[in-house]
Amino acid sequence: MHKQKLLRVQNRALVLNSIRQHGSISRVDVSRHTGLSVGAVTALTRELVDSGLIYEKQEGDSRGGRPPILLALQPEGAYVVGAKLTEDHITFALTNLDADVIGRLTLENPGIEPEAVAQRVADGIHRLVAESRIQRSRLLGVGIGMAGIVDAETGVCHTSPILGWSNVPFADMVEQRTILPVYLDNDVNTLTLVEKLYGAGVGSNHFLTITVGRGIGLGIVVNGQLYRGMGGAGEFGHTVIDPHGYTCDCGKRGCLETFVGDPWLLRRAAEHDRHFNTIDELFHAAQSGDSVVLDLVRQAGATLGYGIAMLVNVLNPQLLIFSGEGMRYGDLLLEPMRQGLYANAMSTLSAGLKMHVEPLGDDAWARGAASLVLQELFRTSARELDTVGV
């Protein structure tokens, strides 16, 4: 793509993102926010209206004259699919441009063999689009979230202990089966992205998303951008807390995950003669006041707070967003977590720290994955914007 075309694609993304961020907005205000001339904005918005991604409406303060024509995002102008992979099932969500879920589907995972999983994902996408009765031409792409270390630029899963994958080009495998742009990322990164675009992270340039459940995940936003490091940033659950502790799935001993993660809580409970088949049973025991289980949950919270204190000291975030199935414990986990955090973080860095708890289900994971595609639409990315024809 030569320089002039690249500049035009980038400017379209600037205009589209300005409209998304500010809601109903005039062309003059878009010009002011983007730094583009009114003439350039007029030409670009004409193309966006023609494509169905935005529309015009007459609203606003006319100040005695003709009401200004405002521009707004057309939520049903396009759609994306998000998919969340686990070892036993795949959850799909079809969303509009506002990330509203308008269709959902859950399929059993046929196993962990990559080819079979890729075909199952493709089948799920085809079925969801058919059941939702949308025009396939309005489908911009597919986002997939999964646990593990993922190269989001290449769509390669470098390692996933849960699925047993190593260097699997999964995005390409699904793309070949769907003939759609496919984006792959760590699942906690996808949750962080949807919080940044549409959720509690809107307006915060420095925040962390911490998930508690089967494992402990971390998404990092620095200077308004999702931070991936060399591709594997955020493996917070594998921070070693006790080098003489349990051997973790990653091969190290005493990882934070072995104190807080669901499988480890079940194991620790069994060591205290409290045997549960599922984490739901352990949760209900905690709710019922089982003193041994309550102590385990509180210890998990305190240890989690100790680990988060290190993050606060290193990254100095404005906001912590907590999510994941572990949020079901509520203050049984969160109150000792807060105490552990404030007892171990530098007071000057933890003062004014905001916290937000986001209860989580599979829909949220899939919606987060869908945000991978929405991000590409709203950022100045030449390759992807050209692909979707914006």
Query: Residue 125 burial (CB < 10 Å; 0-12/13-18/19+)?
Result: buried
Mean pLDDT within 107-124: 94
Per-residue pLDDT band at 313 (split at 50, 70, 90):
very high
Domains of the chain: 3-73 (1.10.10.10), 79-193+364-378 (3.30.420.40), 201-360 (3.30.420.40)
Q: What percent of the chain has pLDDT over 90?
A: 67
Q: With beta carbons less than 8 A apart as the criterion, state whether 136 and 158 touch.
A: no
Residue 79 has pLDDT above 60, yes or no: yes
Q: With beta carbons less than 8 A apart as the criterion, state whether 161 and 261 touch.
A: no
Q: Please tell me the predicted confidence (pLDDT) of residue 384.
A: 41
Tell me how far apart the alpha carbons of residues 130 and 42 are, in angstroms, rounded to a whole number.
36
Tokens 């990322």, residue? 185
Mean pLDDT within 311-328: 96
pTM reported for the whole predicted model: 0.86
Tell me how far apart the alpha carbons of residues 83 and 184 are, in angstroms, rounded to a whole number.
10
Q: Which two tokens stand for residue 131?
A: 């059941």
- Type of residue numbered 77: G
Mean pLDDT within 2-23: 78
Q: Please tell me the predicted confidence (pLDDT) of residue 63.
A: 57
Over the chain, what is the mean pLDDT? 90
pLDDT tens, 225-280? Answer: 999 998 889 999 999 999 999 999 888 999 999 999 999 999 999 999 999 999 99
Q: Please tell me the predicted confidence (pLDDT) of residue 389.
A: 45
Q: Please tell me the predicted confidence (pLDDT) of residue 95.
A: 95
User: Pick from 35, 138, 78: which is nearest to 380 by CA?
Assistant: 35
Q: What percent of the chain has pLDDT over 70?
A: 92
Q: What is the 3-state secondary structure (H, E, C) of the chain?
A: CCHHHHHHHHHHHHHHHHHHHHCCEEHHHHHHHHCCCHHHHHHHHHHHHHHCCEEEEECCCCCCCCCCEEEEECHHHCEEEEEEECCCEEEEEEECCCCCEEEEEEEECCCCCHHHHHHHHHHHHHHHHHHHCCCHHHEEEEEEEECCEEECCCCEEEEECCCCEEEECHHHHHHHHHCCCEEEEEHHHHHHHHHHHHCCCCCCCCEEEEEECCCEEEEEEECCEECCCCCCCCCHHHCECCCCCCECCCCCECECHHHHCHHHHHHHHHHCCCCCCCHHHHHHHHHCCCHHHHHHHHHHHHHHHHHHHHHHHHHCCCEEEEECHHHHHCHHHHHHHHHHHHHHCCHHHHCCCEEEEECCCHHHHHHHHHHHHHHHHHCCCHHHHHHHCC
- Please report, for residues 77, 142, 178, the alpha-carbon distance to residue 136 in angstroms, rounded to integers and kept in the order given: 12, 12, 11
When comparing pLDDT for 63 and 337, which is higher? Answer: 337
Residues sharing a CB contact under 8 Å with residue 277, sequence separation 6 or more, in sequence order: none
Q: With beta carbons less than 8 A apart as the criterion, state whether 239 and 307 touch.
A: yes
Q: Please tell me the predicted confidence (pLDDT) of residue 51.
A: 86
Could you tell me which residues are beta bridge partners of residue 82?
Answer: 93, 143
Q: Please tell me the predicted confidence (pLDDT) of residue 387.
A: 45
Query: Residue 122 burial (CB < 10 Å; 0-12/13-18/19+)?
Result: buried
Tell me how far apart the alpha carbons of residues 94 and 134 are, in angstroms, rounded to a whole number.
10
pLDDT tens, 352-389? Answer: 999 999 876 677 888 899 999 988 887 754 344 344 44
Tell me how far apart the alpha carbons of residues 332 and 269 are, in angstroms, rounded to a whole number.
16
Residue 169 has pLDDT above 60, yes or no: yes
* 188-227 burial code (b ≥16 CB/10 A, e <16): bbbbbbbbbbbbbbeebeebbbbbbbbbbbbbbbeeeebe
